[in-house]
Structure 1
């Protein structure tokens, strides 16, 4: 009687254990020796009596593991096709999210700069200025560049594209979307007058512009990318130039003053006392707002958007030491008061364009008014 043999493939494995604290230290650029000290301090009770050599050995094992994983983290979409290491889904999400997380202060320094090799070599200055490790600064710079390169030519929703390609949470994908949006439009962010602005200010404004000024049509007339301002909208903005004509500006101002008085006599009195010439402030602000709309059509001019907002609108209001709530009232009434003017009654589509422009601009001005 012959013997029958059956081949059996056996795989024995277990989930790879990731120490989140050690992973964070690795991301921050700490050496294994520095991390071992931090681990011992954090887990002093648990590790009491454990020899230092065992702690450093464990840290070194984790560091070697992170080195193996890093290549996969740079192409997160590949992760779903299988890991050579057994890592559960929850840990994968943690590894990816933390690897792509960034410090506001570091990205604030990167904003507005070309994502070039030369600027990467100058990250030592960023590290010293922000007190964030050089290795971490380089990782953050490389991640921004990687995300930008991956999505710059994609159509469709920018946030979804980033989520889909890098397996990030919606929160983090939104943060990256605003950074690459600013990079794509080459907005000026480093001039002295706007140095006071934080990453949170640029995030807020870029998100508002992405959401409200980009082309919503999947087949945009001018084939804009999701990182471009809707060109049809930009062309429509040119028609707002009519508001600078004397008769329309006077009518707008009269409507504005009427609305302001009806809202609050106390507020009207306070503004009159604080602002020596409310008439002049209205006209100057109106000219600035309309001129900014008109210049959005010009590539070089659009780069100075944040600078223009600060220089032409925020600083004149700051000179009167107005509180933010008064600025909010001024801008809200400025936006709403021309509704019944002939130019908008005759052309309802232009009113839609006006609101689309002003709601976003007002939101940015208020955010940037520190």
Structure 2
């Protein structure tokens, strides 16, 4: 039998990705919901011994004998995030995640990301694509999926810490699933980012009739139906992470936390429901880092794992959003319960959204076809 050995793949620039629908948040939320169902059923694989690892990161020492070796400055990452996702996707891929907070001094985004999508049978590349928007929109869509199941349907007020890229995409997702939202309270570090966020909201979401800039986290949380911390900051001391105090939180609030976060003793109580996006990933993280793990990984879901180890929480109190999506557990149970969800980010999310955008691009003739080889030199 004669096989066709020619391999072409699609290169998609950032503008190509936009044209192919990467910024379509309602579609991204739906895609992430489908992904969560597959995740809960087990039709996926990520890295690590339990197939739930976030990825593999290159780290740098504080002191190196090599003058050219990078220093471990804030948000410096060189990280590979591979995954396979089954179901209607049936693809594999890897995101190469590079970031350095010093990039902003050069007019560049903190993170510069690329994604390669592969045929799962042969391993041949299907596409190599710009991934900053891919990653940003899939990240924001996850709090949106959480809000679909866990926020009150009549939610009107968002409290947002960190009006940057993650904050924008989270707001877009919240509005996609809670159309009655009309107010956003924001707290940011600098006036420039606040002004840019306000201009973005006004340009894209005219239903938002009230934007309030607040000067404290307490003011941000109080009276908000949906709360999200999307800030960046130094990792290592949980006492410095932005906190949520129970006395601030409105009855019935949903809190989606994709960034640094800590909670007080009141929020630790069992009547506050604690949800994660993938329990296996938090278990994998917990095995990979020194304890208490929250010092190394600042997500609130990792704090939940520390609480279990400290005897402050039972393992079965920790809920998985996927179980709710497949109908094996209930989402919001009443209008008064407080629910906090940890959002960790997973490479299966990138695979899911990359597959949808790639297929859109193929159907619409978007992108540049590149040739890997007609016939491989080595076989």
Is the structural similarity TM-score above 0.5? no
Q: TM-score, normalised by structure 2?
A: 0.24
Query: Going by fraction, where is strand more abundant, 1 or 2?
Result: 2
Q: TM-score, normalised by structure 1?
A: 0.24
Of structures 1 and 2, the one scoring higher in RCO (CA 8 A, sep 6+) is 2
- Higher Cα radius of gyration: 1
